[in-house]
Structure 1
Amino acid sequence: MLTLTLDIGNTFVKYGCFEADVLRETAIVQTREQVGEVVERWKPAHVILASVAGPTDIWAADLRSLVSGQIVEFRPASTPLPIRNGYATPQTLGVDRLAAAVGAAWLRPGRDSLIVDAGTAIKCDWVEGGHTFRGGSIAPGLRLRFQALHTFTGRLPYLEMPPDLTAGIPLTGNDTESAIRSGVLNGAVAEVNGILDQYRAQRPALGVLLAGGDAAFFQSRLKGPIFVIPELVLLGLHRILVHTIDYVEE
């Protein structure tokens, strides 16, 4: 069975083409027309759409004449899930957080996982026992921290991310720019490592899955064994789609 997952963000769409449970192709596009071209080329039987940018009804309408099977618009509060959602306010839960949790549960069945999704925000989310999403924490991502220092102060400059994400960041900045980089980058690493320490103290067998656009920066800087899964959200969306299809057909 061929399926397509669409992770719709504010500026681009990341898609994943699956054959059975194997991710065959993934890339980034920007327009609904480009998504249509992917659908016409891949010819999926079913599609799932998830958006952090707003409703997906227009996207779904564009696809109805191209897809013969299910078009699932993922909504955390109502879409059937293969795991239990223990979040107190599912209607406010981001689709990316819950999809990543489903992906983690699929990759680590029966085991505790902590997802570190380092993107626009840094999200640390706990999946208990491979079966229940418990929630976690949301903090500003690296670029938001740089932006906030510039926006909410009178004289601090706005800095971009360093071009080499694997290069060391001096702990002691000897000018304003290097001090900002130390505070933002080393501070974020210390923050996430502190969160990991607290979870590991409670759950010694916890596995840590790292995803998101800034995963490359954190990969070598986080303590303990880390599994880097760049396509974790797409994997989770695929499992939600398969579960929904099975649920509808029962």
Structure 2
Amino acid sequence: MINLCLDFGNSRLKGAIMQNGKMQEQLLFREQHLEAELLAVLDKYQPTGAILSSVVHHTPAVEQLLAGRTRFVKLGHQLRFPVSIAYDKPETLGVDRIALVCGAWRRFPGQYSLVIGVGSAITYNFLHKNGEFLGGGISPGLEMRFKALHTFTDKLPEVGKDPQFSLIGYNTRQSILSGVQQGVLEEVDGMINRYAERYRNFNVLLTGGIWFSLVPVLKVRYLQTLSYYMKV
């Protein structure tokens, strides 16, 4: 059975072709050509089912197309999940965060898991070992931090992410790179440690395309957590 999984985030519109539970191909879509590219995917792979996780606005035609060609499911808080949601207002919870903790539960059922998603925003999502999604935190992602420095000052330039940077910036650009990128690493490190103060053993799952652009400069402990398990 072939299924189409779609994840529309603020940074990228992406998807995957799944066959019998295994990913066969990754997909990227352009916003201005979304409907045409989606139609081409449906024609090529003829998926039986499709699921959409979206945190952005898209035209109704996208869902109409999926519903007309597949058994279509739109991810939302009202669906039944393998985890329960202990969130004040579930309708305000990003569906991408729900998908992350469901994935963590499938891989590590009955265990504590902290899922860190690094995209336009950085989300921290903590799953209790009893299967309850407790919530977590949200902070600005790399690009937001770069843009904020440029937007809310008169003279600071807008800088893009770069894995090559030093702790001590020798010019304005390098200083911004150090402040933003090292700042993100220190934030993640600190958040992991704060959870470690409360929970002795838990999994740390890191995800998000922007995060992996920094892999060359990650500390050894982060490279270890990429194996999906961390003991504290």
| Structure-2 separation of matches of 1:11 and 1:142 | 11
In the alignment, structure 1 residue 191 sits paired with structure 2 residue 190: no
Contact 1:108/1:130 (CA < 8 Å) preserved in 2?
no
Residue in 1 that maps onto 2:171:
175
Structure 2 SS opposite 1:206? strand
Tell me the CA shift for residue 11 of structure 1.
6.4
Please show how residues 1-250 of structure 1 align to structure 2 within 5 Å.
1-10=1-10, 12-30=12-30, 31-54=34-57, 57-67=60-70, 70-76=71-77, 78-129=78-129, 131-162=131-162, 165=163, 167=164, 169-219=165-215, 220-221=218-219, 223=221, 225-227=224-226
Structure 2 SS opposite 1:80? coil
- Structure 2: 5+ residue runs without aligned partners? none
Alignment size in residue pairs? 222
Relative to structure 1, the CA distance from residue 187 to residue 49 in structure 2 (aligned partners, 3 Å threshold; closer, same or farther) is: same
Kindly provide the CA deviation profile for residues 45-82 of structure 1, in whole angstroms up to 9, marking residues without a partner as x. Answer: 11111211126743121123322xx2111112x12212
Relative to structure 1, the CA distance from residue 194 to residue 12 in structure 2 (aligned partners, 3 Å threshold; closer, same or farther) is: closer
Relative to structure 1, the CA distance from residue 116 to residue 106 in structure 2 (aligned partners, 3 Å threshold; closer, same or farther) is: same
Contact 1:106/1:130 (CA < 8 Å) preserved in 2?
no
| Structure-2 separation of matches of 1:117 and 1:11 | 12
Tell me the CA shift for residue 174 of structure 1.
2.3
Structure 2 SS opposite 1:195? helix
Instruction: Report the aligned-residue RMSD.
Output: 1.9
Kindly provide the CA deviation profile for residues 128-161 of structure 1, in whole angstroms up to 9, marking residues without a partner as x. Answer: 1161211111111111111101100111111111
Structure 2 SS opposite 1:18? strand
Contact 1:215/1:228 (CA < 8 Å) preserved in 2?
no
Tell me the CA shift for residue 13 of structure 1.
2.2
| Structure-2 separation of matches of 1:24 and 1:227 | 22
- Structure 1: 5+ residue runs without aligned partners? 230-250
Tell me the CA shift for residue 35 of structure 1.
1.0
Amino acid at match of 2:50: V
Contact 2:16/2:24 (CA < 8 Å) preserved in 1?
yes
Amino acid at match of 2:75: F
Relative to structure 1, the CA distance from residue 135 to residue 217 in structure 2 (aligned partners, 3 Å threshold; closer, same or farther) is: same
Please give the TM-score of this superposition, normalised by the length of structure 2.
0.88
- Larger relative contact order (CA 8 Å, sep ≥ 6): 1
Residue in 2 that maps onto 1:244:
none
> Matched residues, percent identical?
32
